[in-house]
Structure 1
Amino acid sequence: MKTLTITLPDNLDIEEFEAKMLFAGQLYQRGKVTLGQAADIVGISKRAFMEIMGRFGFSIFNYSVEDLKHELGNV
């Protein structure tokens, strides 16, 4: 794994866990990492990551509109 160091302003009221969840959630939603990789970034199990995602505004379902239309066409 790569290591990333980010310098944040002192007045930013964010905990390390929250920052990792937001970062990993974005990467997952953009299709850059798998669900398991996102969980690894945060340092929690895949199940825990899936359970917590909604609190941070992320969906476990990572489908584009085109993918959904294609799947509905196959039904």
Structure 2
Amino acid sequence: MPQAAILFSDDLWLSLNMSMDEVVSSMRKEYATKMYQQGKLTLGQGAEFCGICLYDFTALLAVQNIPVINYDPEDLDRELAEWA
């Protein structure tokens, strides 16, 4: 499995005032939500990347005002026309 390392200066690490697990969790969530927003990860992949369940990932997206459903207005109009 690929791994990545990020180096922090001692001063930066102290200013974060977080445990290593908290930093890793926070970074994973930030990255996964951005990648989901850009269409690079699915909901399931985002949840897996964060190490959380799908429900918690959708809640995380909601807190950050990132839509869970990206529906093209033209697609919606087309589907509504089919039902009319």
Give the helix-richer structure, 1 or 2. 2
The TM-score normalised by the length of structure 2 is: 0.64
In structure 2, stretches of 5+ residues that fail to align are none
What residue is the counterpart of 1:6 in the other structure? Answer: 6
What residue is the counterpart of 1:29 in the other structure? Answer: 37
In the comparison of the two structures, how many residue pairs are matched?
72
Q: Larger RCO: Structure 1 or Structure 2 (Cα < 8 Å, ≥ 6 residues apart)?
A: 1
In structure 1, stretches of 5+ residues that fail to align are none
Quick one: structure 1 residues 58 and 6, their matched pair in 2 at CA, closer, same or farther if it must change by over 3 Å? Answer: farther
2:73 to 64, 68, 71: 68
The TM-score normalised by the length of structure 1 is: 0.70
The amino acid across from 1:4 in the alignment is A
CA RMSD of aligned residues (A): 2.4
Q: Deviations over 1:13-48 (max 9, x none)?
A: 373322211100111111111100000110001111
Bigger Rg over Cα = 2
Structure 1 segments, 4+ long, off by >4 Å, are: none
1:41 to 42, 49, 66: 49
